[in-house]
A and B are shown apart, each in its own frame.
Chain A
């Protein structure tokens, strides 16, 4: 009996230590956002030759029936009905089939790890896939390895940085949208306190918090943003606790950067507090009354275009980063509580960002300690975003 008890205590100690230090879920591409390479886009001049020959072979090789012009394989890091990032990627892949009916789609969801991703994609290729969309962060390495083994197959990865003759990367540009959402939140708040539920203090989360705060401050200089971390991409109970503790600090607008927006939005709704979504436009259903707006990835058009270039054999590896101005991201519809003045102001800001008159990260920008991070006349470049370890003045919470 003593031994059993001793083992039990040792075991529990191990479990606590582990559960205190490790994230419970694998971050998806949207969560660990992309590192930007320095030399992009890849010069298209030397590429067509490399792409042409595999593309011709593909057509002969594919064992498809009459009428199938392309077989697309897609892998997702989680369930495609998550009302979040994976749903967005699934919708983008489904758009290919809608726009080009002769395309055949093979999909695999809940592909968490690298080993699973490699075997899944190889299986798709053996079923005749000549184009692969690997949409999770953890799928980049295995896809890149496979691209060497199968030079005839075109690989597109979402949210990474690797490039080669038959491997390219595509993603949206979320910061501008966060700025717009900040403008809406800054106008809607009455307590001048906004809450941000985040999974981990990561560089890209910091960028989102900063863009959101700067947007809110642009219309309401007194606004504060409080950030709190759950240390898990899908720990729902912690998300509910965190949302509540923010609301108890008199926060009256809540937003989040975790896998599924469901718990945070439902909790805010149950407390009668405004909310702002992320990852997918479908999040609105969880906050019918107090929804302000949200943003999501709408990459269907670009995915369709990439597939069409594979079909007509003009595909070249392009490092593609596209924002709302290219239709790759979208602001969600506004909720019933949002006055027209807010909608008009956000539209004005959107027009300014689109025209380039307005930049989300234009200096001078000071951090929480008053240190000048971006000088007057300078901007935070796309490259620098992946290493941001500071939060702007007006944010309460730790950036690391």
Chain B
């Protein structure tokens, strides 16, 4: 195993982990306010298709990023209308959003399949200019990669160090009490979902405009669901989500490294490794996370008399 291969795993973890981390912290914000959105996959897809389409049309990937963010926020508001205003079951509504997203994104993305885009520009990490291109190209990152950790910390700060975050978490723990202390639980839930959607949109923008430079139907391939699993793994904490994301994307990169190193294990088995790992972690953490989950997660807030 060469140095290049090991650095490559690191680079892959960062590249493929970025969209996952945005989606995960987006879901953390929503769940902290007590709302499970199983439709992350659909939100990612709609945002990705919108961002890609806008980039093709305008020729500017930054406008595409904005469009993807907005699309994510709007779809989450639609989901909020279902589960907050209409008081629908969150799990069922989330699945509906997922399937809706698969269909709608295919429709939006249809004219842009096979179209070339100007992908998000990449900037070299300072000090690496002298390395050979094969290695230095591993560490040329786009803006969304540079921003992902600061934004994660910002989300942590918002949730745990601001009054708004305190209110949001209070709503997730017990909406009635939050109401009694003068907050509007439904408004807070809408805000949380909107912010979560914006973050998910950032993830989709990175996936399509920076990483794959392509739009293809159902291109997320289950990443939205991985994000939901990582929320549990991270015990609803944005900073811990970084560890989970690195673990998952590292496992993907590592199994590919095994494949291309000529290890004689069936590639079918290797391909399952990241999922098995996530499952094992979920099973282990599942029992000990009762104090971490927001107390009224998934429960419909019926309003206070």
Contact = CB atoms under 8 A, between A and B. Distances in A.
Report whether chain A binds chain B.
yes
Contacts of B131: none
Given A4-B297, A12-B228, A19-B225, A237 B262 contact: no
Interface stretch (A53-61, A255-263, A294-302): A255-263
Contact of A24 (B19, B218, B264): B218
A286 B116 contact: yes
B5 interface: yes
Interface string A207-246: 0000000000000000000101101101111111110111
Given A20-B271, A234-B216, A248 B7 contact: yes
Contact of A20 (B9, B113, B257, B272): B272
Nearest to A224: B262
Contact of A236 (B114, B133, B212, B293): B212
A249 interface: yes
Given A7-B91, A24-B218, A262 B286 contact: no
B91 A262 contact: no
A10 B62 CA distance: 39
A394 to B, nearest CB: 11
Contacts of B127: none
A245 B8 contact: yes
A162 B222 CA distance: 36
Given A241-B252, A398-B264, A79 B110 contact: yes
A400 B113 CA distance: 31
A13 to B, nearest CB: 6
B257 A245 contact: yes
Which of B15, B114, B259 counts the most A-chain CB atoms under 10 A from its CB? B114
B11 A266 contact: no
A255 to B, nearest CB: 14
A13 B271 CA distance: 16
Contacts of A238: 221, 252
Contact of A228 (B91, B133, B256, B296): B256
Nearest to B222: A19
Interface residues of A, number: 65
A375 interface: no
Given A229-B267, A245-B260, A249-B5, A237 B293 contact: no
Contacts of B134: 247, 250, 271-272
Given A226-B260, A245-B12, A249-B261, A237 B219 contact: yes
Nearest to B119: A266
A102 interface: no
A9 B286 contact: yes
B283 to A, nearest CB: 8
A43 interface: no
B177 interface: no
Interface stretch (A82-90, A119-127, A135-143): A82-90
A60 B291 CA distance: 77
A396 B252 CA distance: 19
Contacts of A245: 5, 8-9, 12, 253, 256-257, 259-260
B172 to A, nearest CB: 11
Interface string B213-235: 11011111111010011001000
Interface in B172-231: 207-208, 211-214, 216-223, 225, 228-229
B66 interface: no
A5 to B, nearest CB: 6
Which of B110, B262, B282, B293 counts the most A-chain CB atoms under 10 A from its CB? B262
Contact of A16 (B5, B36, B257, B278): B278
A396 to B, nearest CB: 4
A24 B222 CA distance: 9
B182 to A, nearest CB: 24
Interface in A71-112: 78-79, 81-84, 87, 110
A190 to B, nearest CB: 11
B218 A25 contact: yes
A235 B114 contact: no
B298 interface: yes
B225 A15 contact: yes
A282 B36 CA distance: 43
A8 interface: yes
Contact of A81 (B5, B111, B213): B111
Given A9-B286, A237-B219, 16 more contacts: A4-B298, A9-B282, A12-B225, A15-B222, A79-B114, A226-B262, A228-B259, A235-B221, A236-B214, A237-B220, A237-B221, A240-B15, A240-B211, A240-B212, A248-B4, A249-B260
Sorted from nearest, which 9 A-B pairs have the closest CB atoms? A248-B8, A4-B298, A83-B114, A236-B212, A19-B222, A396-B262, A245-B256, A235-B221, A266-B213
Interface of B: 2, 4-5, 7-9, 11-12, 15-16, 19, 36, 38, 91, 106, 110-111, 113-116, 119, 122, 133-134, 137-138, 207-208, 211-214, 216-223, 225, 228-229, 232, 252-253, 256-257, 259-262, 264-268, 271-272, 275-276, 278-279, 282, 286, 290, 293, 295-299
Interface of A: 1-2, 4-5, 7-9, 11-13, 15-17, 19-21, 24-25, 78-79, 81-84, 87, 110, 195, 201, 226, 228-229, 231-232, 234-242, 244-250, 259-260, 262-263, 266-267, 270-272, 282, 285-286, 396-398, 400
29 contacts: A2-B290, A4-B91, A8-B232, A12-B228, A20-B271, A20-B275, A79-B113, A82-B114, A110-B106, A228-B267, A231-B268, A236-B208, A237-B220, A239-B212, A240-B15, A240-B211, A242-B256, A244-B12, A245-B5, A245-B9, A245-B253, A245-B259, A245-B260, A259-B216, A263-B216, A270-B122, A396-B262, A397-B260, A398-B267
